[in-house]
Amino acid sequence: MIRDVVAVVGDVAATFELGIVCQVFGLDRADDGLPVHDFALCAAEPGMVPTTSGFAVRVEHGLDRVARADLVTVPAWPALTAPVPEPLLDALRAAADRGARVLTVCTGAFLAAAAGLLDGRRATTHWQFAGLLARTYPRVQVEPDILYVSDGPVLSSAGAAAGIDACLHLMRVEYGAATANALARRLVVPAHRSGGQAQYVEAPMPPPRTPYELSELLDWMLRHLDEPLTVDTLAARAAMSPRTFARRFKALTGTAPHRWLLEHRLRLAEELLETTDLSVDAVAARAGFGGADTLRHHFAARRGITPAAYRRAFRHGP
């Protein structure tokens, strides 16, 4: 379980990305029933560190603080390919070797790659710098079109706000769906965004052709996950042809309607398994899978675990 978290900064700290990890791990939300972490900011050389926004932050801890952390976060790395102090690389390697997790936000993947933590592994970074990461570190399997990817000890995320998605994913893995959803509500963000970076790369949405907003339809779909929802049914509700609806839906969410529904049904099933005593059959019906066998099939395919095993792991967790 993650209790001790550090954020590592270099000669310059990335303001927004640092703010993400501070929001998720550095605030005491015990009154909301959320986990509390021992959080600290550290650097190879403690002191006043300038930020990308023109002000400075005080870093009180050195690399000795990394040695006890359960999670080491790298909230972007503006220097990209500049030489990194060897003690910092050693600290990252030692953390990973003893079983700590490493979370990189945006260009933080460059520091993890410099330490060799991504050799032979999948990783992502901001789409603008994915090519540079692949060229600089050819042993890294760079995936430029996804929001985050977990491989080995490293969870890497794409540009800027994708760090929130990665943090929520980590909270879900560590504490369960109910905790991740509660934190998402507290941050006023979706608990899960479908799609990937491709939907944010110079691809403006076409203007709506009907007064019906797809965002309203998405909310309606979430309230009716237990019902049979076909593309024809949804297209009719959106006053579009099925082909136009499927195209517009993918432009908005980055994925096809049936995959969007599947993911949200799985997340509802996770929450029901964690927070209720409903049978697996009842959970399957409530989440729109019809029967337990269908739920088990999709759980195994997408989560690598059975619903019963998931419930045992999280039903009595924090």
Q: What is the DSSP string of the chain?
A: ---EEEEEE-SSB-HHHHHHHHHHHSS--GGGT----EEEEEESS-EEEEBTTS-EEEE-B-GGGGGG-SEEEEE--TTTTS---HHHHHHHHHHHHTT-EEEEEGGGHHHHHHTTTTTTSEE---GGGHHHHHHH-TTSEE-TTSSEEEETTEEEE-STTHHHHHHHHHHHHHH-HHHHHHHHHHHTS-S---S-GGGGSS-PPPPPSSS--HHHHHHHHHHTTTS---HHHHHHHTTS-HHHHHHHHHHHHSS-HHHHHHHHHHHHHHHHHHH----HHHHHHHTT--SHHHHHHHHHHHHSS-HHHHHHHHTT--
Q: Output the pLDDT for position 317.
A: 46
Kindly report which listed range (27-36, 133-142, 147-156, 197-206) carries the lowest average pLDDT score. 197-206
pLDDT averaged over every residue in the chain = 89
Q: Is the pLDDT of residue 55 over 60?
A: yes
Measured distance CA(27)–CA(74) in Å, rounded: 18
Lookup: tokens for 228: 């049979």
Lookup: tokens for 266: 């799985």
Q: Which of 77, 254, 104 is nearest to 166 (CA)?
A: 104
**Who has greater pLDDT, 271 or 71?**
71
Lookup: tokens for 216: 């309203």
Q: Is the pLDDT of residue 115 over 60?
A: yes
Q: Is the pLDDT of residue 150 over 50?
A: yes
Q: Output the pLDDT for position 194.
A: 60
Q: Is the pLDDT of residue 84 over 60?
A: yes
Question: What average pLDDT does this structure show over 93-114?
Answer: 97
Question: What average pLDDT does this structure show over 5-13?
Answer: 96
**High-pLDDT (> 70) share of the chain, %:** 92
Q: Output the pLDDT for position 92.
A: 97
Q: Are 4 and 176 in contact (CB under 8 A)?
A: no
Kindly report which listed range (75-79, 176-180, 239-243) carries the lowest average pLDDT score. 176-180
**Who has greater pLDDT, 184 or 134?**
134
Residue 99: is it exposed, middle or buried by C-beta count within 10 angstroms (0-12/13-18/19+)?
Answer: exposed
Q: 301-307 contacts: CB < 8 A, separation 24 or more?
A: 302/262, 302/263, 302/266, 303/266, 307/269, 307/273, 307/280, 307/283
Confidence of residue 310 (pLDDT cuts 50, 70, 90): confident
